[in-house]
Homo-oligomer: A and B are copies of this chain.
Amino acid sequence: MAFEDIKELLAAKRYVELKERIKELQIPDIAEFIDELDTKNAIIAFRLLPKEIAADVFSYLSSERQGEISTLVDEKELIEIMNDLFFDDKIDFLEEMPANVVKRILRNVSEAERNLINHFLKYPDNSAGSLMTIEFVDLKKEMTVRDALEKIRRIGRDREIVYTCYVTDAWRRLEGIVSLKELVLASPDVKVEDIMTTDVIYVNTYDDQEDIADIFKKYGFLAMPVVDQEKRLVGIITIDDIVDVIEQENTEDFQRIAAIQPSEIEYLEANPVMLARKRIVWLMILMISATISGYIIRRYQVAIEAVVALTAFIPMLMDTGGNAGSQSSVTVIRSLALGELKFTDILKVIRKELLVSILVGLGLTCVNFIRIFYLEGYDLSITLTISLTLFLTVVFAKFIGGTLPLLAKKVGLDPAIMASPLITTIVDAVSLVIYFSLAVRILHIVV
């Protein structure tokens, strides 16, 4: 969005007009606008917000900006913002803040809330506990629909989601769920227990967010209950947070496929030293592994000295092998991530990859043969060596690319590490061995 007009109002200190203009914007847009300002103007703009939306806007700000604002506003303002934040947004914010800000905030809340916050901060990253919110509507099964709607009217305004209500017993154990739709459609005198659903799908506080996202995707839920080890309802997870989880998990897979150690920090916010650290590990491992290809070439130095022309085709053979392998590995990695494929499908994968690689290999080899033999005029034995190597490399690359991610999954590794870079390194070495051993035989080179 372009906020030029509002920025001008701010620069000209025309605050009354600015306030009016901001009122027309949606909350996430106001946050985007404040994120774009420098610190001083950001504080001014934030203070101009109507009280009732300030906390909501705050929850959409970048964590950097949240930090600045919470350090620069006075204690009273900070407490007001904190009180108006939804509990999960509060935890998200505190997780990102340095210890002194967290301390300052915890000093200003009741002991009960302090304990609750500390409890939530202890849930591992990526667990249901760290995703959930405590603002849900809980009902009792003895209530009538009229009572239930009455309770929703009373407490609903402060609840993040009221479209699913949770029915709990005296020990706060989850007994069932009932949707607001069902409550509205039911007649007022019916009991909640008569319309509630009892076979509820729930997750535990320590469940992994990726598995939870899979459940949301499968069942199309808007929210899901979270229970502790005693089966007590402790929170709910809502679909908007799951959408973020899905994107985060996808980002991790993209990073692993590109041989980067996963990180949740946005590119523009990350500093170069941190980026370099996340990238150098795999580059180093792969660089050292690539020396195997070097040894193979040195082993066949005599062959190269005899027919130097062979060298010219090394890049093409290595690249094509690497690309053919990545295609298969990324396809399998993605299918595994989407739950479309399991380890037990390995024979189907091998069969499919063999068929595909034969088709693709034949196509590439034909074009390559025509180019090398007819267009570039190499002799038949060299052309044959290169063509055969190309075909065998493609078949091997697709076999390895298709099976390694499945094997990784089987032994509990992330399949995404078996992607392009690692596959390329393996395929390189193998394609060189194929190349030179064929060359030695076909060209009758005495090694």
| Interface check A152, CB cutoff 8 A | yes
Which residue of B156, B293, B330 contacts A260 across the interface (Cβ within 8 Å)? Answer: B330
| Interface check A46, CB cutoff 8 A | no
The CA of A345 and the CA of B155, in the complex, are separated in Å by 45
Count of chain copies? 2
| Interface check A432, CB cutoff 8 A | yes
Distance from A400 Cβ to chain B, minimum over Cβ atoms (Å): 14
CB within 8 Å of B: which A126-181 residues: 149, 152-153, 156-157, 162-163, 180-181
The CA of A308 and the CA of B420, in the complex, are separated in Å by 29
| Interface check A385, CB cutoff 8 A | no
Distance from A403 Cβ to chain B, minimum over Cβ atoms (Å): 14
Which residue of B181, B216, B318, B364 contacts A315 across the interface (Cβ within 8 Å)? Answer: B318
> Could you tell me if A149 and B260 are in contact, using CB atoms closer than 8 angstroms?
no
The CA of A222 and the CA of B181, in the complex, are separated in Å by 15
Knowing A338-B251, A359-B273 are in contact, say whether A324-B157 is a contact too (CB < 8 A). Answer: no
> Could you tell me if A364 and B26 are in contact, using CB atoms closer than 8 angstroms?
no
| Interface check A425, CB cutoff 8 A | yes
> Could you tell me if B322 and A424 are in contact, using CB atoms closer than 8 angstroms?
yes
> Could you tell me if B272 and A290 are in contact, using CB atoms closer than 8 angstroms?
no
Knowing A254-B330, A283-B324, A340-B266 are in contact, say whether A26-B219 is a contact too (CB < 8 A). Answer: yes
On A, residues with C-beta under 8 Å from B are 24, 26-28, 149, 152-153, 156-157, 162-163, 180-181, 184-185, 199, 201, 216-220, 222, 239-240, 242-244, 246-247, 250-251, 253-255, 257-260, 266-268, 272-273, 275-276, 279-280, 282-284, 286-288, 290-291, 293-295, 297-298, 301, 304-305, 308-309, 311-316, 318-320, 322-324, 326-327, 329-335, 338, 340-341, 345, 348, 352, 355-356, 359-360, 363-364, 367-368, 371, 394, 420-421, 424-425, 428, 432
Interface pairs (30), CB distance under 8 Å: A163-B163, A163-B181, A180-B181, A216-B243, A217-B244, A220-B243, A222-B222, A222-B239, A243-B246, A257-B330, A266-B335, A267-B332, A279-B324, A279-B327, A279-B360, A283-B324, A283-B360, A283-B364, A284-B363, A287-B368, A291-B316, A293-B315, A293-B316, A294-B313, A295-B312, A311-B314, A315-B428, A322-B424, A326-B420, A326-B421
